[in-house]
Structures are given as structure tokens and as C-alpha cells.
A and B are shown apart, each in its own frame.
Chain A
Amino acid sequence: SQKIEQNSEALNIQEGKTATLTCNYTNYSPAYLQWYRQDPGRGPVFLLLIRENEKEKRKERLKVTFDTTLKQSLFHITASQPADSATYLCALHTGGFKTIFGAGTRLFVKA
């Protein structure tokens, strides 16, 4: 079955630097790959999605890449701010009506 792997170690970076988070998946490449942000005690919030025929997608300070050969997506936050500190989840649609999630990577941005 399809599985998603995200780095379980927290990422600590200095304010103003670029944060890069990795998402790897097994088996088949999904038609879409999504990224969500989750704050402690809250539900995830959708940020960006990228289609299998897109290499890169941008939204303000966020950038997502999608490499179907490597079965990997990278999520970048440029000019990071302390307010960006959260857990970032990678998700993909497995077909039908189901979306599965990785365990997420916790990001800490220090002022």
C-alpha cells in the first residue's frame, strides 16, 4: 500500500533562512501531492498542491517541487519567520475518496 515518509527529526533554522522539508512516497506516483500546516492542538490547514505534470509550484514564500522519478516532493519556505514554526504534513490522494498523510516534520524558526 502507498506510504509517505517525512523526516521525523525536527528542523531548527534561523529567521530569514530557507527551510526545506522532504516528503518521500512509495509505490505509484499520485496525480496530486499536497502540503498542509498543523499547529499544536489544531487541525491541518491546506497550503499547496502540485500535480504530477508540474515540476514546481509557488505561492508567496512557499515553493513545492515534485519529482516523480525520485518519488519525492520538497517543500521550501523562504525568508522564514518565527510564525512559520509548525508541523508540515505531506499528503496524497490514493484514488477513490481517500487522502493519506505523512507523520509530518516539525519546524522551529528562531528569531
Chain B
Amino acid sequence: EADIYQTPRYLVIGTGKKITLECSQTMGHDKMYWYQQDPGMELHLIHYSYGVNSTEKGDLSSESTVSRIRTEHFPLTLESARPSHTSQYLCASAGTSGPSSGANVLTFGAGSRLTVL
């Protein structure tokens, strides 16, 4: 079944640690996204990718970085985590073909809840 997977689901780490949040999709989608969401708040786009070797910063400034070496994989890295990075991180993808491709409908992973102490 086509899907999008995020690991870890939950992570508690200390300040200054380097972390990588993994995101993989099996749908062959070209477009992938990272959103950040705090409880009860809207989703904020922090990174996106049009395809392999393309990455762009989103509307919300973030100290994280991303890479897109393979179509199916879009990991997010924080070099030195701080308590202000505590949040829910949601990965999503969208296809470029099909009847709704112009609408940019997103398929989301279950999210990674990061807590930095």
C-alpha cells in the first residue's frame, strides 16, 4: 500500500544534540514537504522539494536542513537541538500527475513529536 512513513514518532533529547527525522514515501511523488505544528496552531511550511537534488526553504524560518538524494527519501536534520525546537514535525508529499495534481493535495505522515530538554 502506498504510504508515507516518519521515524521516530517520538523523540526526547538533550540540548545540543544532533538529530535527523526520517521521512520516506512509496508513492513516487516528486514533491515533498516538511511542516512544523505546535498544539492548536496552524501548520507552518519549513522546507520543500520539487524533486531529487532540489530543496527550498518554506515560509517559516527554521534552523533545520533537508536533503533530497532519492525521490522517496526527505530527511530533516537539526545540527544542535534547542528547547525552542520542541514541536511536531509533519512530512508530506504530493504527486505531479492525475486529476488533482494541480491542487497540490498532500499525503501526510503520522508526524514526529520532538521534545528538547
Whether a CB of chain A sits under 8 angstroms from the CB of B12 is no
Chain A interface SS verdict (over half):
strand
Contact of B106 among A31, A32, A99, A102 (CB under 8 A): A99
Known contacts A97-B31, A97-B48, A98-B48; A44 and B104 CB within 8 A of each other: no
Number of A-B contacts (CB under 8 A): 66
Contacts of A89 in B (CB 8 A): 42-43
**Contact status B103-A32, CB under 8 Å:** yes
Whether a CB of chain B sits under 8 angstroms from the CB of A79 is no
Contacts of B100 in A (CB 8 A): 32, 49
Interface string of A37-50 (1 = CB under 8 A from B): 00001111110010
23-53 of chain B: CB within 8 A of chain A: 31, 33, 35, 40-43, 45, 48, 50
Contacts of B41 in A (CB 8 A): 103
Range of interface residues on B (Cβ < 8 Å):
20 to 34
15 further contact pairs, Cβ within 8 A, besides A32-B102, A49-B105, A100-B59? A32-B104, A34-B103, A41-B88, A43-B91, A43-B92, A43-B109, A44-B43, A46-B106, A89-B42, A93-B103, A97-B48, A97-B50, A97-B94, A99-B33, A101-B42
Kindly report which residue of chain A lies nearest to residue B91, judged by CB atoms. A43
Known contacts A43-B92, A97-B50; A103 and B104 CB within 8 A of each other: no
A101 to B33, CA, bound (A): 13
Whether a CB of chain A sits under 8 angstroms from the CB of B108 is yes
